[in-house]
Amino acid sequence: MPAPIDRPGKIIAIHLNYRSRADQRGRTPAAPSYFFKPSSSVAGTDGVVERPAGTELLAFEGEIALIIGTPARRVSVEDAWSHVAWVTASNDLGLYDLRANDKGSNVRSKGGDGYTPLGPELIPAAEVDPTQLRVRAWVNGDLRQDDETGDLLFPLPQLVADLSQHFTLEPGDVILTGTPAGSSVIVPGDVVVIEVDAPHSSKTFSSGGLRTTVVQGDVPFDGALGSLPAVDDLQRAEAWGSREAAGLAPEAATAATAPALDPALREKLLAAPTAGLSTQLRKRGLHACFIDGVSANVPGAKIVGTAKTLRFVPAREDLFTTHGGGYNAQKRAFDAVEEGEVIVIEARGDASTGTLGDILALRAKVRGAAGVVTDGGVRDYAAVAEIGLPVFSQGAHPSVLGRKHVPWDVDVTIACGGAAVQPGDIIVGDSDGVIVIPPALAEEVADAALAQEEEDAWIAEQVEAGHPVDGLFPMDAAWRATYDAARATGSEEA
């Protein structure tokens, strides 16, 4: 392999670029984003890669690699391809066990020795159409990836031009251009082969088979030096490609997949007080609908929305190490909340630590959340109130999350303030407190509560006019007849 590939000055990789991969991940970027890989990660063909001791989620990614031939600085898209000398195959290997704590930089998860095999043959870039290249990957002889550059979100010349506006691309620099759907976990003994070719060309061009064998490492990571490998179901699902492929149960129905709250119903619930709604729930046999012990951060705030749930478990040092850092359940909940949803947090009624602060509150507000309900405390209490997001909690507390809680799960059934809350349940809160309404009962309960409000307002008028409450509140048969007659005529008089 030529010297420029043995030790490139820079290796730049793109996060998401194939439509098939974006569809698989459920997100489509508006612009390309990148990360660097160290040149020490380069390996040649027919090599081996270690899966480090104590890890489980080493994944392959078949990619097309571009090798820069002449310096490129602020080049146009039209001129960009002329600065590419060679095209070849790459396996952008990654260890998902180390992914969360690097927050997208992929320094450790993608930077291991041997994590960037390249080659074996070089395809002259000037002789192929960058829109008609293909990458394929086989694991133990089974075809796992097969896609073409016509499916790219960001064409290959655009990547060169974009990167060149930020820094000079130098001869020998390598650009990894993204992987299609089909990337998955590999285990010791697996053999991965990647090939890049130009299937629609009149001439035959191929990188040949880039072969990598997985072996088991025997040296564990030292937790005294830095964060240890940690996996959760999100990382497993993304590493394997899906929850099904990872052997995980399908996700439970969540608020994100539940029907959005009907605007007309929302208006009814905004008009109905929680006291009246709770009365109607009690009449229908629901006596455990109260989220106890919480009050609004802003007096007079009203909250109506569907529940998106977040669960904390009691703090334990090893669990916080594995689940508290990186893109944990708390951050995922606030990043994924949809317009009109209420984030409901199970903090086991422990108000002696914060369960959110101003940054997360701002994130929820920007995403259109209807509010937050937590049976724990709130940091940055005044700042959260200024953001204008309704938050119901047990009050202020300055401490950080790790003092008492480990963020554990999102979109599961939780217990908040003594009430069971399921994703998609309807949450209503005002100065009297917060209640949980099963969606199937919401319309009926809202209509009945508003009718009761109208009746109570009429009773108040009668009391103000000097009538005693006996027989009036609640109304006996005589008063009921008077009320019905008044409603029929539109009169307020008794």
Binding site per annotation, positions for Mg(2+): 380
Residue 127 one-letter amino acid = E
Residues placed in the known binding site for substrate: 357-360, 379
Tokens representing 327 are 């893109």
Cα 185 to Cα 18, 57, 59, 96, 340: the distances in Å are 19, 6, 4, 9, 37
CB 49 within 8 A of CB 114: yes
Tokens representing 337 are 């909340």
Distance CA 340, CA 390 (A): 12
Task: DSSP for 163-206, please give it.
Answer: HHTTS-B-TT-EEE----TT--B--TT-EEEEEEE-TTSSS--B
Measured N-to-C along each axis, helices 329-336 and 358-366 cross at an angle, to the nearest 10 degrees, of: 30
Beta-carbon count within 10 A of 20 CB: 15
Phi-psi category of residue 448: left, alpha or beta, with phi > 0 → left and psi -120 to 50 → alpha: alpha
What's the DSSP call for residue 470?
T
Which residue's structure tokens are 């005294």?
A: 224
CB 366 within 8 A of CB 316: no
Distance CA 153, CA 159 (A): 10
Backbone angles phi, psi at 338, to 5 degrees: -100, 165
- Please tell me the number of Cα atoms within 13 Å of 346 on its side-chain side: 26
Instruction: Kindly report whether the peptide bond that precedes residue 398 is cis, defined as omega within 30 degrees of 0.
Output: no
Phi-psi category of residue 233: left, alpha or beta, with phi > 0 → left and psi -120 to 50 → alpha: alpha
Distance CA 374, CA 412 (A): 15
Beta-carbon count within 10 A of 104 CB: 12
Task: DSSP for 360-404, please give it.
Answer: HHHHHHHTT--EEEESSBBSSHHHHHHHT--EEES-B----GGGT
Distance CA 372, CA 400 (A): 18
Distance CA 434, CA 290 (A): 6
Tokens representing 2 are 């030529």
Residues placed in the known binding site: 357-360, 379-380
477 contact partners, CB below 8 Å, separation of at least 6: none
Tokens representing 139 are 């694991």
